[in-house]
A and B are shown apart, each in its own frame.
Chain A
Amino acid sequence: MRVIVPIKQIRDPRGVKADPRRQQVTLEEAELVINPTDRNALEEALVLKDKLGAKVTVISIGGPEVEDSIREAWACGADEGILLSDELLAKADFRGAALALAKAIQKLGDFDLIIAGAMAADTCQGQLGPRLAAALDIPCVNDVYRILEVSGGKARVIRGWDEKFLEVEVELPAVLCIAPGANVPRLPHGARIMNSYQWEMPVWKASDLGLSEEDLRPGVEERGLSFPPERVRGRVSRGSPEDLARELVSFLRERHLI
C-alpha cells in the first residue's frame, strides 16, 4: 500500500508581521515550516503506516529550501521524499502545481491514497487537493476528520458537512483532504532528525515530468497585495432581554438578513 502526501513549505504564520499603515507584510523573518494542515495529513498517513504498513511518500514543489521540510517529514516517519524544483515549477500557480504533482505521482507508479492538507495556512485557498484529484481523474473527499478504515480497495472516512459530520465511503485510489486540527501531528524522533540529511533526495524538473513552459503558464496574475478594509465598529446595545431581542430583529430586517 502506498500513500502519497503532498506538502507545502510556508512561512510560519506566527512569525509574519503585518503593518496595515504602510500596507506591508513582512514574511522573511518568519521561519520556514511545513504547512500545519499538511502535518495533519502526514500524521494520517503515518497512522496508516503504523497500522497497515503503508509506504509513505512525501512530495513537495519549490526552491531548494523546501528540501528541509521534506527531510523533516522523513524524520517524522515518512519513507521517502521527492522535490519538484526548477525555475518553471517555481512560477506555477495552483493549477500548475496540481498538474506537476499529478505527473510526478503518475511517474511514481501505483498508489492507493493521496492524503493532503485541506488548506495552506498562507493562501487559504484549499485548491490543491481537489485540483490534484481532477488532474488524476480520481475521487476526492474534502474536510476529512478521521480515516475509519482502509480495506478492499475502499476507504471509509468521516468528513465535515455543514455543521454535521458525514460518514463517506470512497473507492481507491482517491484524494483525502484532511481538515485542520483533525489530529495532533507527531513530532520527529531526535535520532531520525540527526539522520535526516543522510539520504539522497530525488529532485525532478518540469522536463522530467514532461511539462513545458506552456503547460505551467500561470492562469492567475498577481497585481499586488492590499489589506482588507478596516472593520466598522460593532454596535453595543443595552436593555432588557425583550428590548434587545426586538432591536436585534429589526436590525436584521433592515439589512434583509432575515
Chain B
Amino acid sequence: MTARIVLHDADITRALRRIAHEVLESRRGDGRLVFLGIPTRGTVLAERIQRIVDEIEPGTSSVGSLDITLYRDDLARTPTRAPAPTRIPDEGIDDAIVVLVDDVLYSGRTVRAALDALADHGRPRAVRLAVLVDRGHRELPIRADFVGKNLPSSMSERVSVRLADVDGVEEVTIEP
C-alpha cells in the first residue's frame, strides 16, 4: 500500500497563514513574540510563520530554534543522534511570549523536553504551542494552541511531513 497525501503544498501554506493570524489574535497586549522551532522541520515552519507575522506587524517578533536532543527522556531507547543547534534571538526569551513550533504533535514527549530546555534559557511570560499536524495519541497532558490540521491516525500508521527546504517536496502523507 502506498502513502496517501493529506496536505498538498497549497494546504500547508494556507495552514501556516491561518496559524500566523491566530497567534496574532491570541496575543493580548503588547507582548513580544518569539517563535522557536524544534529542529529540523519545526525550525523551518517557525521561520515561515514568523515571516508572515512580520509582514503583518513588522518588528514585533523574532525567530530561533530550540534543540531538545539533550533533554529527551527516551535517549536510552533510540540511536544516538547529533544535537542540532539552538539559536535564541539576541533579546532572549525573558518576558516574551514564546511560540514553540513543531511539525507533528504525537506523544507530547518532544514538547515536554522542549519545555525543560526552555526553562534553562530563561523565563517567558507565556509559552504556546503551534503544530502543523496533530495526530493524537498523547502520553502526556499536553495540547496544542494552534493546529494546522487535526489528523486522527492509528498508532501503526506513519505520518510524514515533507518541506521543500528540507525534503525537496512539500506535502503531508499518511501511510499504513
Asked if A pairs with B, the answer is no
